[in-house]
């Protein structure tokens, strides 16, 4: 197996660094799936007896980030490589890209054990210097690849445009101080509601006039707390700390953000920067009963 990618564009290098920094806030570990056209970062739920449920799926097109790119996978039929490593260590190693860097090479090496080796050349006027970091990795056997397949869902009842994540974060931080759970609700008229409900407080924050991408439900709630019961309401209650964790990590500029809901089952956030990245975040319904 061989992998080598060369980045020379300053914008691409900084975007790559920012993405790894975001991932390091989600989880201590991730899986990197390397293919001919795309590089994926996959964050899974905690290990259990069955297949690992995805929490986040990040997709990066090779053509945007790499000037040179070479991949030799496990064989001709399965020309891919799956690696597991520390997201924190990768983010720290790439932090040098904040400086004026001429190029960054990422390659799979074997230095007593498998590593992702990062070779970064500083763009100094008089002295050229190279910084090398080795990130230990575990090569995942092909028999386990099915644990990291892209999640496919086609049963979302509503998909709605999200407000700015930057503006959402302080609101959710305040709500977190009052409850561990957050109910996310959308209706067919473009209203998104974030609600917490405890024995002491019932608080809702509304965002209106948002674009509806799709609406496939006629699920009318009977909750007395819903003001506009004439409109179909789709909702799911999730862990507010996980929601806030992703809001804090996904502070990426110039993105389109969508929220999809399966009633009483799941909230999915979809973040896209046209031509350079897409991220899906899956937050399943909690066991909390309203």
Q: What is the CATH number of the domain that holds 179?
A: 3.70.10.10
**Same domain? 136 vs 200:** no
**Same domain? 127 vs 33:** yes
CA distances from 45 to 18, 34, 166 (A): 22, 21, 25
**Same domain? 141 vs 162:** no
- Dist. CA 213–CA 199, nearest whole Å: 35
**Same domain? 108 vs 229:** no
Beta bridge partners of 256: 272
Residues 98-103, mean pLDDT to the nearest whole number: 91
Q: For residue 125, what pLDDT band results from cuts at 50, 70 and 90?
A: low
Q: Does a structural domain hold residue 141?
A: yes
**Same domain? 72 vs 120:** yes
- What's the pTM value of the predicted model, to 2 decimals? 0.88
**Same domain? 18 vs 140:** yes
The domain of 21 spans: 2-148
**Same domain? 93 vs 113:** yes
**CB 73: neighbour CB atoms within 10 A?**
18
Q: Does a structural domain hold residue 132?
A: yes
pLDDT at 165 over 90: no
Give pLDDT, residue 53: 74
% pLDDT > 70, the chain: 89
- pLDDT per position as a tens digit, 271-280: 998 899 999 9
**Same domain? 232 vs 123:** no
Q: Please state the three-class secondary structure of the chain as a single string.
A: CEEEEEECCHHHHHHHHHHHHHHHHHCCEEEEEECCCEEEEEEECCCCCCCCCEEEEEEEEHHHHCCEEEEECCCCCCCCEEEEEEHHHHHHHHHHHHCCEEEEEEEEEEECEEEEEEEEEECCCCCCEEEEEEEEEEECCHHHHHHHCCCCCCCCCEEEECCCHHHHHHHHHHHHCCCCEEEEEEECCCCEEEEEECCCCEEEEEECCCCEEEECCCCCCCCCCCCCCCCCEEEEEEEHHHHHHHHHHCCCCCCEEEEEEECCCEEEEEEEECCCEEEEEEEECCCCCC
Going by their DSSP bridges, the two strands 81-86 and 129-139 should be labelled as antiparallel
Least confident of 19-33, 120-134, 138-152: 120-134
Q: Does a structural domain hold residue 289?
A: no
Beta carbons of 104 and 42 less than 8 angstroms apart: no
Q: Does a structural domain hold residue 80?
A: yes
- How much is the mean pLDDT over the chain? 88
Q: Does a structural domain hold residue 219?
A: yes
**Same domain? 53 vs 25:** yes
**Same domain? 20 vs 137:** yes
Q: Does a structural domain hold residue 98?
A: yes
Q: Does a structural domain hold residue 290?
A: no
- pLDDT per position as a tens digit, 63-87: 999 999 999 998 888 999 999 999 9
Domain count, the chain: 2
Last residue of a domain, one of 100, 125, 148: 148
pLDDT at 248 over 90: no
217 or 226: which leads in pLDDT: 217
């Amino acid at each position: 197996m061989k992998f080598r990618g060369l980045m020379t564009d300053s914008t691409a290098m900084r975007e790559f660094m920012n993405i790894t920094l975001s991932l390091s806030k989600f989880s201590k570990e991730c899986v990197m799936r390397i293919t001919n056209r795309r590089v994926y970062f996959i964050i899974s739920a905690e290990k259990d007896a069955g297949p690992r449920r995805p929490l986040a799926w990040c997709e990066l097109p090779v053509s945007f980030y790499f000037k040179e790119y070479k991949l030799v996978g496990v064989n001709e039929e399965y020309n891919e490589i799956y690696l597991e490593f520390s997201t924190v260590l990768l983010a720290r190693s790439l932090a040098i890209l904040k400086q004026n860097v001429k190029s960054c090479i990422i390659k799979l090496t074997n230095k007593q054990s498998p590593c992702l080796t990062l070779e970064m050349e500083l763009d100094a006027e008089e002295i050229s210097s190279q910084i090398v970091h080795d990130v230990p990795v575990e090569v995942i056997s092909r028999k386990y690849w099915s644990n990291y397949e892209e999640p496919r869902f086609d049963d979302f009842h509503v998909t709605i445009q999200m407000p700015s994540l930057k503006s959402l974060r302080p609101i959710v931080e305040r709500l977190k101080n009052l409850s561990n759970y957050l109910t996310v609700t959308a209706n067919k008229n473009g209203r998104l509601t974030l609600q917490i409900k405890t024995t002491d407080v019932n608080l809702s924050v509304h965002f209106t006039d948002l674009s509806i991408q799709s609406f496939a439900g006629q699920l009318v709630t009977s909750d007395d707390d819903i003001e506009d019961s004439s409109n179909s309401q789709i909702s799911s209650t999730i862990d507010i700390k996980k929601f806030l964790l992703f809001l804090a990590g996904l502070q990426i500029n110039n993105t389109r953000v969508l929220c999809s809901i399966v009633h009483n089952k799941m909230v999915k956030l979809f973040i896209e920067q046209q031509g350079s990245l897409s991220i899906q975040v899956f937050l399943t319904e909690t066991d909390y009963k309203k």
